Amino acid sequence: MANIIVEDLHKSFIKEDGGIVEVLNGVTFTTNHEEFVCLLGPSGCGKSTILNIIIGLITDYSGKLILSEEGLNQKVRIGYVFQTPRLLNWKTLKDNIVFALEATGVQEEQRGKIAEEYLNLIGLADSAGKYPLFCSEGEKARVGIARALAIEPDILLMDEPFSHLDEITARRLRIELLKIWSKKRKTVVFVTHNALEAVYLADRIYILSQKPTTTIEQVQIDLKRPRILEDIRLLEYQKEVLRRMGI
């Protein structure tokens, strides 16, 4: 059972001129098992920095980070979906997923079957042999999600994965993401600066301030799933979230 506890997280960076930029100033949030949590804040406020601390790419920070109820980081497997898919253009879609499975130690005889399973999950089973350069941005985004899920993570981190897409494609992928999540039920931390995206996707939203970033408050989204984007209650939640953000 994988949960995340973040308490009073602080992080600063040293600039080239020797000055200090304070990015995180007391960020606090938690997740529950199989919960979909969104971190909502303005662009440049340090949301990606938070994810990089959770996954271990940044280690020089202060504050508390506990992964899993036992607090044993090494027992938790984390999947990461980037802002752009970062697929290897010289490998097919299937082989991009196989490559991730190989890197995490999955046995060779299982990799192809698992890759095909997740391509089928995202609706691209017939495109397994395509190369990324011949795929749409929406297709590549879906493969990025499948690649992260194929390693069977306990926690899935998603760093604004739809922000580079046109709104029509992004809207379709949000719907597809929730269908996939309803089947796999991973603990998800999804960062975004889009309030409507957050209220549509999340069980809970943590609102973050401008940099130096702190947690302003949390908002529980008490709407049953599946949700409809045109639901007036969803739009009311969006208004409330924007109000709490001071917008």
Alpha helices in the chain (DSSP H): 47-55, 93-103, 108-121, 137-150, 167-184, 195-201, 232-244
Give domain limits for the chain.
1-77+154-193+205-247, 84-152
Q: What whole-number distance in Å separates Cα of residue 163 and Cα of residue 44?
A: 13
Residue 104 is classified by DSSP as: T
Whether pLDDT at 72 is above 70: no
CB 144 within 8 A of CB 88: no
- 247 pLDDT band, cuts 50/70/90, is confident
pLDDT, one tens digit per residue, over 114-153 is 999 999 999 999 999 999 999 999 999 999 999 999 999 9
Instruction: Tell me what pLDDT residue 69 has.
Output: 57
Which pLDDT band holds residue 74 (cuts at 50, 70, 90)?
Answer: low
Distance between CA atoms of residues 160 and 174, nearest Å: 11
Domain 1-77+154-193+205-247 CATH class label: alpha beta
Which residues 6+ apart lie within 8 Å of 238 measured at CB?
Answer: 195, 196, 199
Per-residue model confidence (pLDDT) at position 151: 94
DSSP 3-state assignment of 34?
coil
pLDDT in tens, 203-216: 999 999 999 999 99
Band of residue 68 on the pLDDT scale cut at 50, 70, 90: confident
State yes or no: pLDDT of 70 exceeds 70: no
Mean pLDDT of the chain: 93
